[in-house]
Structure 1
Amino acid sequence: MASTGCGIGSWRPKWLQLWATPKMFLLLFGLEGILQGGAYMYMVASLTTLEKRYAFNSLVSGFILIADDVSGLIFRPIMGYLANRLHRPRLIGWSMILVSLGCFFATVPYIIYGPGVHMLGTKIVNKTVEYCDNNRGVDSSCAASDSGRSVWIPVLFLWLSTALNGVGGSAFWTIGMPFIDDSVKKKNSPIYISMAACFRLLGPTIAFLLSAYVLTYYENPLIDPGITDKRDPRYVGAWWIGFALLGVLIFIFALPLFMFPKKFAKKHPDDYADSKDDNKNYVDKQVQIERDAKAKAKADAINKANAELSLGFRLMRLLKNPIFVCFVLGTTLRLFGVLGYMTFKPKYMESQYKQSASSANMLSGIIGIVPSCIGILLGGVFIKYTQPGPKVLTSVITIVELFGTIGFISALFLGCPLTPFAALPQYSSCDCFGGSGVATEGYCPTDCGHKFQTYIAMFSISNFVGTLARTGNAIISFRMVDKYDKSLASGLWGSFYSLFAFIPYPLVYGAVTNTACEVWESKCGKTGNCLVYDSDKFRNRLHGLTLTLYFLGSVFDVIIIFLSSRIKNLYDDEEEGEISDFMD
């Protein structure tokens, strides 16, 4: 009862055992998955606002984001190795406590510094500014306003917040997904995995929507900033509210996870449907009891043998598996591109289509949630009811993922170049100007609404098509390794993703984004965030890099097709503890 009952310590009431089911675990796991993924992506969605508020550039943003992956790099293999030895649901619960703590860390910069009211003092009208006076020194207000104040203090707390999310998130997914797969029949696994993937997908989407909502309020909602246009560079939204809300919700839903059993009990013979023939029903029960006892004894023996294997032996067993190696390499390249693009897409939409930060985040969420969820669920239903063989499944995955690049390809042709407006001169990259000395602030109007609508539509289609392969990829990842190695494999490829995708992608994409900048903010002799991007450079470099990485990853998918005959037992339940061989 202690290992299969629901509760804490000796408190395991009978009514609570009704909740000790894989379905209930999936529900709570999914809710926490939404919130954990939302916490990370909320940081991503808020970065443009945070750059503006604390005056740091995209490279510093990349430094903040890699904290999630540096911590994951260290803890994923540790969690994967220890998962089968410890109480997995409780480990998941503790991981969410860490994520909740990280969310509260992110609010500390606001607690220390408060709202950026100093930015509201930047005026353009009724103020003489001698831009071209070479004799003009640095404004003395710079030293006064910056004394005792360092940009690295808020950056440090944001980095710690992201690092805690990385530790908790790495344990959550490394342990949770294999636990779900182990707790259900293989023929039902596609549905459970697609549901979990759907929950995971909702996290970033809800984060963008939450960010879009809270950014419509000023950083301190209780004061009026006197700015009506949310696109004004001086406007800073209430970014901290989202972190506080997510932290509270993650903590609340983490508590029930501690009560789930170490493993779910099989259906007891007394619970089987009654038969009209009582004698036959009794015999069936006894046969089932004996069968379960034999299976358990065999499973215990094999699991004990597996547990005694050294970490080095199990790692070599994985590294000698060619399907595992190709799967990890291909997925790493695609993740590098897709996550890099997702991270900088709001910034791209702000720059290319002149959307406000809140609108860009809201639209980034909307074009992902509905088509992607439909795609994942349809992919799971397709696999459950058609049960394609390994070669067919891997071929379909490759084709679908290639068709999913249609959004990136079409975006190359959906730019908004600068065009003359009403025969008036346009100034860019300028420090001073002559003539009457009068200019109109803001972006020049563009007639680009139809291209933006097409961009949204194409990415909705791309998200739908691409996510059709999500469940299939998860099934392949769990079936290509030995059952006992699933958590270790998950931790190992998670660390590989962190080292070669999650850590470098913010830095690489941040550097590429910076190369398209035309006008940098400069305050007191220090360079801040980018104010104006070159539309063509930004569009071509962002999408070109993403497509290159995506196509390189597909090369490994093709190799997996030729190796797919080595994958056995996709949908039939093997005897517990049985070992498969993928190294021949």
Structure 2
Amino acid sequence: MADEASEATEFLKTPESKKEESEQLADIQCGLFKGPRMQSWATEYVFAVVFGIAGCFVAMAFTYFNGTITTLEKRYRIPSKTTSLIIVGTDISTIFTSGLLGYYASRGHRPRYIALGLVIMAVFCVMTASPHIIYGAGEDALKLTREYVQVDQLNATDDTLCQAQKTSCGQEAYLWAPIVLLFSAQFISGIGCALFYTLGISYMDDNSSKAKTPAMLSWSVFLRMLGPTFGLSLASVCLRFYIDPQLEPLITNEDTRWLGAWWLGWIPLTIIMLVSAFFLYIFPKELPSAQARRLKSGGHESGGNSLTELSLSDLLLAIKRLANNKVYVYNSIAAVLYVFGYMPYWMFTPKYIEIQYQQSASTATMATGSVALGFSAAGVLLSGYVISKYRPSARAMAAWNGIVDIFTVLGLLSYVLIGCDDSDKATSMFPSSGGDDSCTASCHCEYVHYAPICSPHNVTYISACHAGCSSRAKDELNQFIYTGCKCIGASDIANATQHQFARQGACPADCYNQFLIFLGVMCFLKFVGSSGRTSNLLLGLRCVSSVDKSLALGLSNMIVAILAFIPSPIVFASILDSYCLVWGKTCSNTGNCWLYDTKSLRYTMNFMAASCIFASSFWNIGVWYHAKDLKIFEEEETSHKEPEQFELNQKVSEIKKNSL
């Protein structure tokens, strides 16, 4: 009878209803081949894991770029300000695309748009590596290899010594094309990120019950947090190889002139982006469990109005609704101030460690990636567990965000105190130990490249020319000894001749203990700061209606990009450049910076960052006040009451049946 009834029901269906059913079935079909085994993978948990792993690779690409910044600056002779302009290319494109893509693309097949974003990220990886493919290792790097020049030729043509005539500026020309390529790559990556993050988070939230969202968000964020760890670790490994691995360098990777193979990591990153895009592409437009919940509640559309119903007036009304939402506005302002203050530590931490604590690029990126970001991942996991288990209120989450800000401010202020005297004293490398270059006036050192030497008094000079050295030889350890250095020991007239020599390389600076203390504080800040990510994201998702969710995410990304992601790198890069003491000079431009005033830089950078984050805490107080009626777990009551009522009805039915 049941079969006959189902056949009759099927017969009575109109062509329109059959078409609607087929469309609904197509919307929840997973994979390229629609087999039943493939459909079992179309769940919210599987998507959260796949999306999190893909997000890990996206974050890995960006942090890999950050880990190779100092090498790029040395290779292409670009100052930090130019580097910051390259990096903000991502955020410039985000401004133009994030809000619109979040509003319009959310009405289409979101997993396919997410996959398109990853394909764009793969193009970004190829474009970033292209300057090395086109221009090679560069003349400066080749000069420091055994294959490029023999030792006897090096002795005969040493241009770092004090010369009787002016040294030619015939160095490799300043290249604008690599800068344009790198900026273009960053620009298109912003489009890929807008598609990936904005649509991915809204798809996850729309296709899962609100009770499960915190756990899935925390796992997804946790997997993404592994990206920076892997990215900086990959950068550390690649930078251990010379920029041209086929050549034998004459210096070690501890030398500040070392250029690592910055381009090498973009090859595996391109491949994994394309593989990740495939796995996200095969997810359905709507997950079966989400469709079942929607149909049970009487809903018809999964993402708001259909694309054909959208208009500019709808968009303006949605923006007006968000502008009147105080929790959303205050949370966005707090995010802008926090990101503005913390941005230099996301971008320049490896460089900061190199400058302040005299560590190699490889060591700096490894410490930042493998140790510090591991604490970030732990903070995300722990916060996700606490939120899922104890279900704190919106006010409790907002209060914790304010506490995180205060801890961050205290940590940044402690950075000011964690200095290294040996590193601060390295400013003696400034020409002729104190700025008096009268003893090198006849040496014509203007275009002599950076090649530091160490005097018997443990004073480092920019080059043998800046120390007034006239000749060099090799010692028993096969290292160069520079002699006739008239600027060394000039103040000690009695023993001037005796001490007028120097050894190749900068004088050693013992900053390892300070580096470990800095690393410990940084790990604590990473742990505390990441513990507020899940709660902050939940506040942003729950303070708006479901129809405005994708737009809210896209619009907030656009606001943060305009007010923080773009200006912050430029401002802090300008601060870095303003404290540069020794610039690499080319014939037509100022190149990269070789030496900084570490003490002044440490004070200015950390005080300014701490001030921004302190201001952010006041706006989190506003979020706390207005979030008193905000529900984070809307399904909590119904999800608990419905099973209890069902069980009660079942027991009543059983009692009646037994009594009969």
What TM-score do the two structures reach when normalised by structure 1? 0.87
Could you tell me whether the CA contact under 8 Å between 1:120 and 1:234 is conserved in 2? Answer: no
Of 554, 561, 579, 1:498 maps to: 561
Taking the aligned partners of 2:212 and 2:521, their CA distance within structure 1 comes to 33
Deviates more, 1:23-32 or 1:303-312: 303-312
Q: Partner residue of 1:222?
A: 246
- Label 1:412 to 1:118 Cα distance change in 2 as closer, same or farther (>3 A): closer
Of 18, 37, 52, 2:59 maps to: 37
Q: Partner residue of 2:128?
A: 106
Of 521, 525, 528, 1:465 maps to: 528
Q: Partner residue of 2:116?
A: 94
Q: State the shift of 1:201 in Å.
A: 1.5
Deviates more, 1:213-222 or 1:398-407: 398-407
Which structure 2 segments of 5+ residues have no match? 1-24, 145-150, 427-453, 469-485, 488-496, 639-660
Q: Partner residue of 2:473?
A: none
User: Which structure has the greater CA radius of gyration?
Assistant: 2
Q: Partner residue of 1:369?
A: 373
Q: Partner residue of 1:582?
A: none
Deviates more, 1:380-389 or 1:430-439: 430-439
- Label 1:13 to 1:347 Cα distance change in 2 as closer, same or farther (>3 A): same
Q: 1:280-313 CA deviation, whole Å, 9 max, x = no partner?
A: xxxxxxxxx9x97452346679756995771000
Query: SS where residue 107 of structure 1 aligns?
Result: helix
Q: 1:535-554 CA deviation, whole Å, 9 max, x = no partner?
A: 20121122112111111111
Q: Indicate yes or no: 2:339 matched with 1:315.
A: no
Query: SS where residue 397 of structure 1 aligns?
Result: helix
Q: Partner residue of 1:424?
A: 457
- Label 1:100 to 1:302 Cα distance change in 2 as closer, same or farther (>3 A): closer
Q: State the shift of 1:574 in Å.
A: 9.8
Q: State the shift of 1:232 in Å.
A: 2.2
Deviates more, 1:414-423 or 1:91-100: 414-423
Which structure 1 segments of 5+ residues have no match? 269-288, 576-584
Q: Indicate yes or no: 2:86 matched with 1:64.
A: yes
Taking the aligned partners of 1:154 and 1:102, their CA distance within structure 2 comes to 14
Q: Partner residue of 1:273?
A: none
Could you tell me whether the CA contact under 8 Å between 2:229 and 2:370 is conserved in 1? Answer: yes
Query: SS where residue 231 of structure 1 aligns?
Result: coil
- Label 1:518 to 1:118 Cα distance change in 2 as closer, same or farther (>3 A): closer
Q: Indicate yes or no: 2:416 matched with 1:409.
A: no
Of 178, 186, 192, 1:168 maps to: 192
User: Which amino acid counterpart does residue 205 of structure 1 have in structure 2?
Assistant: T
Q: Partner residue of 1:18?
A: 40
- Label 1:440 to 1:310 Cα distance change in 2 as closer, same or farther (>3 A): same
User: Which amino acid counterpart does residue 138 of structure 1 have in structure 2?
Assistant: S
Q: Partner residue of 1:282?
A: none
Q: Partner residue of 1:439?
A: 502
Once the two structures are aligned, what percentage of the paired residues are identical?
30
Taking the aligned partners of 1:131 and 1:395, their CA distance within structure 2 comes to 62
Taking the aligned partners of 2:405 and 2:555, their CA distance within structure 1 comes to 24
Listed as ranges, the matches of 1:142-291 within 5 Å are 142=171, 145-146=172-173, 150-227=174-251, 229-266=252-289
Q: State the shift of 1:132 in Å.
A: 6.4
**Relative contact order higher in (CA < 8 Å, ≥ 6 apart):** 1
Of 371, 379, 382, 2:383 maps to: 379
User: Which amino acid counterpart does residue 384 of structure 2 have in structure 1?
Assistant: G
Of 600, 620, 625, 1:557 maps to: 620
Q: State the shift of 1:120 in Å.
A: 3.8
Q: 1:493-533 CA deviation, whole Å, 9 max, x = no partner?
A: 10111111111122111101111211111233532111011
Query: SS where residue 215 of structure 1 aligns?
Result: helix
Of 557, 569, 575, 1:512 maps to: 575
Could you tell me whether the CA contact under 8 Å between 1:406 and 1:458 is conserved in 2? Answer: no
Q: State the shift of 1:130 in Å.
A: 7.8
Q: State the shift of 1:485 in Å.
A: 0.7
Q: Partner residue of 2:450?
A: none
Q: State the shift of 1:427 in Å.
A: 4.8
Taking the aligned partners of 1:256 and 1:299, their CA distance within structure 2 comes to 25
Taking the aligned partners of 1:343 and 1:297, their CA distance within structure 2 comes to 45
Could you tell me whether the CA contact under 8 Å between 1:116 and 1:236 is conserved in 2? Answer: no
Q: Indicate yes or no: 2:146 matched with 1:136.
A: no
Supply the RMSD in Å over aligned alpha carbons. Answer: 2.7
Deviates more, 1:425-434 or 1:405-414: 425-434
- Label 1:301 to 1:482 Cα distance change in 2 as closer, same or farther (>3 A): closer
Q: Partner residue of 2:147?
A: none
Could you tell me whether the CA contact under 8 Å between 1:326 and 1:559 is conserved in 2? Answer: yes
What TM-score do the two structures reach when normalised by structure 2? 0.78
Taking the aligned partners of 2:353 and 2:550, their CA distance within structure 1 comes to 38
Taking the aligned partners of 1:95 and 1:297, their CA distance within structure 2 comes to 29
Of 450, 472, 478, 2:541 maps to: 478
User: Which amino acid counterpart does residue 398 of structure 1 have in structure 2?
Assistant: G
Query: SS where residue 445 of structure 1 aligns?
Result: coil
Taking the aligned partners of 2:324 and 2:72, their CA distance within structure 1 comes to 45
- Label 1:128 to 1:571 Cα distance change in 2 as closer, same or farther (>3 A): same
User: Which amino acid counterpart does residue 370 of structure 1 have in structure 2?
Assistant: G
Could you tell me whether the CA contact under 8 Å between 1:429 and 1:518 is conserved in 2? Answer: no
Taking the aligned partners of 2:80 and 2:343, their CA distance within structure 1 comes to 15
- Label 1:519 to 1:118 Cα distance change in 2 as closer, same or farther (>3 A): closer
Q: State the shift of 1:220 in Å.
A: 1.8
Query: SS where residue 117 of structure 2 aligns?
Result: helix
- Label 1:543 to 1:64 Cα distance change in 2 as closer, same or farther (>3 A): same
Q: 1:53-84 CA deviation, whole Å, 9 max, x = no partner?
A: 11111111011101111111111011111133
Taking the aligned partners of 1:117 and 1:217, their CA distance within structure 2 comes to 17
Q: 1:227-277 CA deviation, whole Å, 9 max, x = no partner?
A: 2x2132432111111111101110112112111111111289xxxxxxxxx
Listed as ranges, the matches of 1:533-552 within 5 Å are 533-552=596-615
Query: SS where residue 240 of structure 1 aligns?
Result: coil
Of 17, 30, 43, 1:6 maps to: 30
Could you tell me whether the CA contact under 8 Å between 2:208 and 2:290 is conserved in 1? Answer: no
The count of aligned residue pairs is 545
Q: Indicate yes or no: 2:77 matched with 1:55.
A: yes
Could you tell me whether the CA contact under 8 Å between 1:45 and 1:361 is conserved in 2? Answer: yes
Taking the aligned partners of 2:283 and 2:610, their CA distance within structure 1 comes to 43
Query: SS where residue 40 of structure 2 aligns?
Result: helix
Query: SS where residue 501 of structure 2 aligns?
Result: coil
User: Which amino acid counterpart does residue 189 of structure 1 have in structure 2?
Assistant: T
- Label 1:463 to 1:127 Cα distance change in 2 as closer, same or farther (>3 A): same
Taking the aligned partners of 1:374 and 1:468, their CA distance within structure 2 comes to 8
Q: State the shift of 1:203 in Å.
A: 1.4
Deviates more, 1:348-357 or 1:525-534: 525-534
Q: Indicate yes or no: 2:595 matched with 1:532.
A: yes
User: Which amino acid counterpart does residue 254 of structure 2 have in structure 1?
Assistant: R
Query: SS where residue 289 of structure 2 aligns?
Result: coil
User: Which amino acid counterpart does residue 365 of structure 2 have in structure 1?
Assistant: N
